[in-house]
A and B are shown apart, each in its own frame.
Chain A
Amino acid sequence: MKVTIALAQIATRLGEVQANLEKHLALIRQARQSGADLVLFPELSLTGYALQDLASLVACRAANDDPIFSHLLQASRDLDMVVGFVEEDRRNRFSIASAYLSQGEIIHIHRKVYLPTYGMFDEGRFFAPGDSVHAFETRFGRAGMLICEDFWHVSPPYLLWADGADLLLFSSASPGRGLSKAPSLESAAWVEHTNRAYAGLFTVFVAHANRVGYEDGLNFWGGSTIFDPDGKAVLRAPYFEECLMMAEVDLQQLHRTRARLPLLRDEKLEFMRRELERILRKDNFR
């Protein structure tokens, strides 16, 4: 099976959900006309990133009767999509979330588990962390979603892999930082490095949509990518430029790579469980 994945590497307007929604709908139309099956938007694509006290004002619920999601669900009749938003739950907790929409339905919602609250980041001050990562079925096989800091940690991608995901869908709003004589910022180089490693270590497809644009002095570097199960780049979007880029991936590559390299077959989940339990039992664990 072949799937055309589009990466919508956009800049957003901070706190202006309606304006961002219109950009989503335009790009979804464009992606559909270009033959995409799935379009991936960045983290908080409907709201902008450094929301601070705007977080509670831009929150919504992924539901058919939500004024924002009703438009996206309508558009998802033609192609699948991942969008980023602030979710307010029934008890008014706010999460950084990604929703997978397909054929007019909400297939899955992921809530960001790891909220960076250090250095320039302050997410834990404004948001509740998610507490689970689940893989889910799509028209293109089993997939999993993660948001930015989630994939700076190794456990969420590992858990999705163990839960059956062959397609990892990553979204981020990653501020560029770390200047040297290298032609890309250190944050950009690191994310590319680890995403490529996940693809190769887990023999899966890894698609990553990162945003561009600025918020005050922060730059977002773009450079969205798709890596195949051999760790080869299928798509590399340019740095700093707003764009919609797409590539066809051949899911049969999973068969070819895993016939050569049976890392998934040989992975010992029971061993992992046993050792983790032992480590967690140890009195000196902290």
Chain B
Amino acid sequence: MTVDLSIDTDLVRKVLTGFLRSEITRAGFTRAVVNLSGGLDSAVACALAAEALGAENVLALRLPYRTSSPDSLEHAQLVIDQFGVQSLTIPITEMVDPLIERFPDMNSVRRGNIMARVRMIIAYDQSEAFRGLVVGTGNKTEILLGYTTLYGDSACALNPIGDLYKTQVRQLARAIGIPDVILTKPPSADLWQGQTDEGELGFTYDEVDRLLYLLVDQRYHPQECVEAGFDEAFVRRVVERVRRNQFKRVLPPIAKLSHRTVGYDFLYLRDWGT
């Protein structure tokens, strides 16, 4: 079974830059802040923001931890130089380590979450200082899989690439001219040495994107995905992972008591009145 995730990158670029311009300006802002990890997703988000708002109106943040790969810092700099955006480098080690050191048995998930949330704090602080909205960098694959830290890297004011699978973000990145070295390296959250997304998830983006496309976009039943040639255990694992992570994709439920409750029957778009 062939699943074609090819996209028309000109069309996507037009919609996404229009989205950023419209949604940032009608909220009363003209600028954006992006946490630039050195990876593909944030490079694309940063380039789109620069195209939408003008490079001088985008602040890219490099937020390395002591174990972060030097490549990440360098690759982020390539993006900053190429697109001419403003930048700040703020090492997070001295903010993260005092908390980590209080719990000597802290595992890597907790450590990683702390780093992601400290980066969120800095992005939102710079959002106020720079008067720019935080542009999200999560793609559709990681949002569906819940491969993200809640209130960490998932936190943003708006997200231009959240409806593109990782393999589609890569196509867009190529069209935008993201440097080859970023396009070709293995995706990684770089929360600890040697971490790669595909190693941690246990499957490749190419495989899981095609499966998610059938399950989510084409509304295939899991059994139909197996019949289409996907391994049954893999399908079951992905379906369960998507279900288990729904909590990361919705606002926390509010216990309903009144006639009108936020989240249930108090319904307005964010663009209300603009």
Stretch of B5-13, B34-42, B87-95, B179-187 with 4 or more beta carbons under 8 angstroms from chain A: B5-13
Q: Say yes or no: A183-B10 contact (C-beta < 8 A), given A13-B273, A53-B268, A216-B270.
A: yes
- Contact: A50 with B273, CB < 8 Å? no
Q: How close is B134's CB to chain A, nearest CB, in angstroms?
A: 16
Task: Give the distance in Å from the alpha carbon of A54 to the alpha carbon of B271 in the complex.
Answer: 12
| B residues in contact with A213, CB < 8 Å | 22
| A residues in contact with B271, CB < 8 Å | 14, 214-216
A272 at the interface (CB under 8 A from B): no
B200 at the interface (CB under 8 A from A): no
Question: Which residue of the partner chain A has the closest CB to B12?
Answer: A179
| B residues in contact with A16, CB < 8 Å | 273-274
- Contact: A216 with B15, CB < 8 Å? no
- In the complex, the number of residue pairs spanning A and B with C-beta atoms less than 8 Å apart equals 65
User: Which of B7, B272, B273 has a CB less than 8 Å from the CB of A179?
Assistant: B7
| A residues in contact with B101, CB < 8 Å | none
Task: Give the distance in Å from the alpha carbon of A180 to the alpha carbon of B269 in the complex.
Answer: 27
| B residues in contact with A244, CB < 8 Å | none
| B residues in contact with A53, CB < 8 Å | 265-268
- Contact: B4 with A14, CB < 8 Å? no
Question: Which residue of the partner chain B has the closest CB to A216?
Answer: B269
Q: How close is B274's CB to chain A, nearest CB, in angstroms?
A: 6
| B residues in contact with A183, CB < 8 Å | 8, 10-11
Question: Which residue of the partner chain B has the closest CB to A125?
Answer: B267
Q: How close is B140's CB to chain A, nearest CB, in angstroms?
A: 11
- Contact: A214 with B18, CB < 8 Å? yes
A273 at the interface (CB under 8 A from B): no
Q: Say yes or no: A182-B267 contact (C-beta < 8 A), given A15-B272, A15-B273, A214-B19.
A: no
Q: How close is A149's CB to chain B, nearest CB, in angstroms?
A: 20
- Contact: B8 with A14, CB < 8 Å? no
Please encode chain A, from 189 to 229, with 1 for each CB lying within 8 Å of some chain B CB and 0 for all others: 00000000000000000000000011111010000000000
Task: Give the distance in Å from the alpha carbon of A99 to the alpha carbon of B265 in the complex.
Answer: 30
| A residues in contact with B6, CB < 8 Å | 180-181
- Contact: B19 with A217, CB < 8 Å? yes
| B residues in contact with A240, CB < 8 Å | 14-15, 18
- Contact: A180 with B8, CB < 8 Å? yes
B142 at the interface (CB under 8 A from A): no
A184 at the interface (CB under 8 A from B): yes
Task: Give the distance in Å from the alpha carbon of A272 to the alpha carbon of B181 in the complex.
Answer: 65
| A residues in contact with B23, CB < 8 Å | 214, 216-217
User: Which of B8, B265, B268 has a CB less than 8 Å from the CB of A182?
Assistant: B8
A185 at the interface (CB under 8 A from B): yes
Please encode chain A, from 119 to 132, with 1 for each CB lying within 8 Å of some chain B CB and 0 for all others: 00000000000000
| B residues in contact with A70, CB < 8 Å | none
The contact size tier of chain A is 20 to 34
User: Which of B11, B18, B270, B273 has a CB less than 8 Å from the CB of A184?
Assistant: B11
Q: How close is B133's CB to chain A, nearest CB, in angstroms?
A: 14
- Contact: A14 with B274, CB < 8 Å? yes
Question: Which residue of the partner chain B has the closest CB to A188?
Answer: B11
Task: Give the distance in Å from the alpha carbon of A14 to the alpha carbon of B274 in the complex.
Answer: 6
| B residues in contact with A14, CB < 8 Å | 269, 271-274
| A residues in contact with B268, CB < 8 Å | 52-54
| A residues in contact with B4, CB < 8 Å | 180-181
- Contact: B273 with A176, CB < 8 Å? no
| B residues in contact with A13, CB < 8 Å | 273-274
Q: Which of B162-179 contact A (CB under 8 A)?
A: 163, 168
Task: Give the distance in Å from the alpha carbon of A183 to the alpha carbon of B9 in the complex.
Answer: 9
28 CB < 8 A contacts A-B:
A14-B272, A14-B274, A16-B274, A50-B269, A52-B267, A52-B268, A53-B265, A53-B268, A54-B268, A54-B272, A180-B8, A181-B8, A182-B8, A183-B11, A184-B11, A185-B11, A213-B22, A214-B271, A215-B269, A215-B271, A216-B23, A216-B269, A216-B270, A216-B271, A217-B19, A217-B158, A219-B18, A240-B15
Q: Measuring CB to CB, which residues of chain B are less than 8 angstroms from any residue of chain A?
A: 4, 6-8, 10-12, 14-15, 18-19, 22-23, 158, 163, 168, 265-274
Other contacts beyond A214-B22, A217-B163: 20, CB < 8 A: A16-B273, A16-B274, A50-B269, A53-B265, A53-B266, A54-B272, A176-B15, A179-B8, A179-B11, A179-B168, A181-B6, A183-B11, A185-B11, A214-B19, A217-B23, A217-B158, A219-B15, A219-B19, A239-B14, A240-B14
Q: Measuring CB to CB, which residues of chain A are less than 8 angstroms from any residue of chain B?
A: 13-16, 50, 52-54, 176, 179-185, 213-217, 219, 239-240
- 4 pairs of A and B residues whose beta carbons are closest in the complex: A52-B267, A181-B6, A214-B22, A53-B267
